[in-house]
Amino acid sequence: MKKVLLTSAVVLAAYGAVQSVSAADDYVDYNSILASIRSDKAKADAQAVAQHIYDVQDQQLSILTPAYNLYKEKDAAYNTLSSRVKEAYSNLEKLQQEKIRTADLIGDGTALVRKADELKSARTEAAQREAKFTDDVESYENEVNTAKQARVDAVKATAAAEAAFQAALTSGDDTAIAQTRSNLALAKGRQNAAVKAEKEANEKLAKAEAELQKAVFDQARIEAALQYMDALETGNDYKITQAAYNLDKKIENAKETISTLESEVEVARTDRDNALLALENAEKRAAVEYKKVGLTYSRSILEEADAKANAVETGWKNTDKGWIYIVTPKGDKATGWKLVDGAWYYFNAEGVMQKWWIKDGNTWYYLNGSGEMQTGWLQDGGKWYFLENTGAMKTSQWFQVKDKWYHVDASGALSVNTTVDGYTVNGNGEWV
């Protein structure tokens, strides 16, 4: 039930007529109450009260929403920096362990060569990741700039629509009031969409920057370790000393990176706390204004509005990694097996739909080009396989289909034109 402190039926009707934003588990249609008022004057009075309540809420939300968004932005920045500090500590630990592991291999030429090969392979992989995320960061930076400009333009458009609406109210022109109110609602909707797009762009950029930092860390660490190992292989004392110094230098640089990031975290924490304080002060003022018109303020108003603005459409979505399936408005992705419209699909740990052969546990399954799990007979690569009703591929066993017996080997392939356990199967795999 919506919290309304005003007691007259007219005001209750007015409140319901504008469907004011408030947390409610059940809904009472006060519009029908308003429609039942027969007196034109009473109805006009109720509409005036309703408009006043709406205006109070709208004015307060126009103040609260930017403060709430700023707090969320600063909180996200703080959390991102905290994650980078953890990654920096992890990099330092890896560097120190790399030095210990390399030192343990001194004198073991075979182990040194094997370790060097592993590091070279890891260096190639890290270089590929660095190149990819460098491109991603550049792309997402452009996306952020575009989204930021779109948000600025949307805010200006909303301000202009607000000014037009206020001018219409002053004029008393009902037609103009209705039109400008509609325009204002559309402008606010576009502004919400622009804010959401900018937020998503910033999140993608932050993720790519974190991955790039990790790749750069890995590259530097591996390169220093390789130089050390190469020097150990040659037995050149000068090169060994130089390589050991370089590795130690990487360790010192890692410590300096941690120190810098920790300083940035402190600044980010202060920014977040200041934004929270500003929001809380704005909420105190809003609570006073809400109370004047019989409403009770709660931050859930902002959280619910934010959740609606940021709600993700559930269902299938095509991404640069492949198809995913969104299962909640929060954007949670399906992982593992998921039944969709009568067909089973399998999604990996990142939520990407899989195709063709997959192994889940110790069992093989086959998903067609659309990702749908297959059952029954399957021909692949010139061989026949049999998939149970669960999709599981049969292996190393005899089985019956209708009135025929068949055998599949350990790979799941149908045995044909051969003898198994003293029993002969023909070219169709049937026991004869």
> Average pLDDT in the 70-90 region?
81
Which pLDDT score, from 0 to 100, does residue 365 have? 92
Is the model's pLDDT at 110 over the cut of 70? Answer: no
Q: How confident is the model at residue 9 (pLDDT cuts 50, 70, 90)?
A: very low
pLDDT for 339-350, tens place per residue? 888 889 999 888
pLDDT for 278-295, tens place per residue? 988 888 888 888 888 777
pLDDT for 177-228, tens place per residue? 888 888 888 887 788 778 778 878 888 888 888 888 778 877 777 777 777 6
Which pLDDT score, from 0 to 100, does residue 47 have? 65
Which pLDDT score, from 0 to 100, does residue 24 have? 37
pLDDT for 408-428, tens place per residue? 888 888 888 888 888 888 988
Q: How confident is the model at residue 2 (pLDDT cuts 50, 70, 90)?
A: very low
> Average pLDDT in the 259-286 region?
88
> Average pLDDT in the 88-116 region?
65
Is the model's pLDDT at 1 over the cut of 50? Answer: no
Among 111-120, 132-141, 295-304, 380-389, the minimum mean pLDDT is found in: 111-120
Is the model's pLDDT at 26 over the cut of 50? Answer: no
Which pLDDT score, from 0 to 100, does residue 241 have? 67
- The better pLDDT of the pair 65, 233 is held by 65
**Residues 6+ positions from 186 with CB-CB distance below 8 Å:** 161
Q: How confident is the model at residue 98 (pLDDT cuts 50, 70, 90)?
A: low
Q: How confident is the model at residue 25 (pLDDT cuts 50, 70, 90)?
A: very low
Supply the mean pLDDT for the chain. 77
Domains for the chain: give ranges and CATH numbers: 73-309 (1.10.287), 312-372 (2.10.270.10), 375-432 (2.10.270.10)
Is the model's pLDDT at 85 over the cut of 70? Answer: yes
**Residues 6+ positions from 349 with CB-CB distance below 8 Å:** 335
Is the model's pLDDT at 149 over the cut of 50? Answer: yes
- Is 335:349 a contact under the CB 8 Å cutoff? yes
Token pair listed for 128: 């590929």
Is the model's pLDDT at 10 over the cut of 50? Answer: no
Percent of the chain exceeding pLDDT 70 equals 76
Q: How confident is the model at residue 235 (pLDDT cuts 50, 70, 90)?
A: low
